[in-house]
Amino acid sequence: PMDVDFQTIHCKEFDQKCLLVKLSDGSSKTFSFNVKTMAFEPMSCSDCAPTQMDSDLTPRHTEWCPHTRNTVVFAYNHVLKMELKYRFDCESGSFHEIECKECHLNPAKRTDPKQIVLVATSPKSKRAIVLTMSKKERVQKMQYDEKEKKYVDMEPTPIKSLTLRSVVVQEKETEDVTQFLEDLDLNGKKDEEEAQVMESDLIAMYKEKSRVLPNEIILVAKNRHTGEFGTYVFDRYIHQFLHVNLPDIKIDSERRQIPLQQCIVLTMSSKTQEGINLQHKPGQEGVQKYMYNRQLGIFEAMKETFVIQKATDIDKWIKKVFEECPCYTRKVHGIVDFLRNVKPYMIDQTGVQQKKPEVQLTETATKEEAIPSGITSTSGVSVETDFSEDTDNSEDSSASSSSDTETDDSDSFEIISSEELTQSKE
């Protein structure tokens, strides 16, 4: 269940009462009730927009900026859902957003929640101000109290910001909260439809390599709702996770090697050629995607999407790739080749005729060297695989019988990625 807080406020701009929904991550959204449709509708009101507070920031790391001559605090803004740069103003005791195109967030660096983020001195009181992180990994300001002879918490203050809410964030928040309000059953009935698995439902446990998809990083993750473990691969063109079942990976439910504050995978989009950082959501479990913005010099949060599980969806994406890329280049070949290779291993094969791949041997290949299409054996012998679903004749049936026997022995051979696939990835 989503941890939310409901408040009734009066909107001055529309001169009516509205519902303010505050989410646990610090964001909020306003809704008005439409009597005709008997439903809540999102409102766009500047007066009701939440104020950015320093308690809405999760510090990443600090760096000295020689260009602005300030200590830059790279932090995640939970209201804007963005990674931004800030400096701490000692006089006002608040954070000011700054711009510097030369300084960039380093996803590999993370401030430990138990460490001190920054120490400053107030020019007025001449007392030290210590910036740490709370249990929720938000900014916590502390100042030394002469009377109590200890550091006490300071009240959160508004941020002097330069960045307004992005369109993507507004759409996502409206979509998330609207869906939540739709899920509120006024008649007390429960929705029996099974929800899709979202990226934020995945808790990354550890990474693996597979001989089936040798050029991909396989993520072993646990569904935080069901507790079930699974293997996932991130598609760099679709920008979504694919739920796969790989025969050579055995899941170890006791293994955990990816701390919450660390980057899971840093890769590059084959569609935009921009960097993509996959990591846990700030301060909590669940995967979040960030894409690098060259103009701003920061990683921006990407819109959350569901995990693709059906093999039939892969065919739709292959068709879409050809529609978006009419010229069949080496790059397009690599994108489509990956989708075709991963399709037989999708977790949900509903609607797909199950059939073992037939292996057609070249003149120089032997039965022992038979391996799946698109993969080269250590001996350098390449083979072709026929995934045709046509009815087998007697000759094809004989070849299929041979391939079944050959497939059983293929696990004893070391296999690597083909030169064609490697070049297309480059």
DSSP 8-class letter at 355: -
Does the residue 135 lie in any domain? yes
> Does residue 341 belong to any structural domain of this protein?
no
**Gap between the Cα atoms of 125 and 276, Å rounded:** 44
In a domain, 347, yes or no: no
As for how many domains the chain has, the answer is 4
Residues 6+ apart with CB under 8 A from 356: 400, 403, 404, 407
Please tell me whether residues 91 and 76 are part of one structural domain.
yes
Give first-to-last CA distance, the chain, whole Å.
Answer: 43
- Is residue 214 domain-shared with residue 299, that is, in the same domain? yes
Q: 35 and 173 in one domain?
A: yes
Residue 343 lies in a domain: no
Question: What ranges make up the beta strands (E) of 147-306?
Answer: 150-153, 202-208, 218-223, 229-235, 240-244, 263-268, 275-280, 287-293, 298-301
- Owner of token pair 């390449």: 382
174 and 44, same structural domain?
yes
Residue 158 belongs to some domain of the structure? no
Please check whether residue 335 lies inside any domain of the structure.
no
Q: Are residues 83 and 210 in the same domain?
A: no
**Boundary residue ending a domain (247, 282, 312):** 312
Answer yes or no: do 211 and 308 share one domain: yes
Asked whether residue 32 falls in the same domain as residue 59, the answer is: no
Provide the residue range defining the domain that includes 28: 4-49+167-183
Please report, to the nearest 10 degrees, the dihedral formed by the alpha carbons of residues 382, 387, 391, 396 taken in order. Answer: 10
The identity of residue 250, as a single letter, is K
Residue 122: inside a domain: yes
- Do 175 and 26 lie in one domain? The reply is yes
Same domain, 294 and 243: yes
Statement to judge: residues 121 and 179 lie in one domain: no
| Assigned domain for 106 exists | yes
Together in a domain, 34 and 84: no
pLDDT tens, the chain, 426 aa long:
445 667 777 776 666 788 878 776 666 778 888 878 888 888 766 556 667 888 889 999 998 988 888 889 999 988 788 889 999 988 888 899 998 888 888 888 887 777 788 888 877 777 888 888 888 888 989 888 888 888 888 888 889 888 765 434 444 445 555 555 555 544 444 443 345 888 888 888 899 999 989 989 999 998 888 889 999 999 999 999 999 999 999 998 888 777 765 678 888 998 888 899 888 766 566 888 888 888 777 888 888 889 999 999 999 999 988 888 877 788 888 999 999 999 999 998 887 765 544 444 444 334 333 334 443 333 333 333 343 444 444 444 444 444 444 444 433 333 333 444 344 444
371 shares a domain with 301: no
Give a three-class secondary structure readout of 309-320: CEHHHHHHHHHH
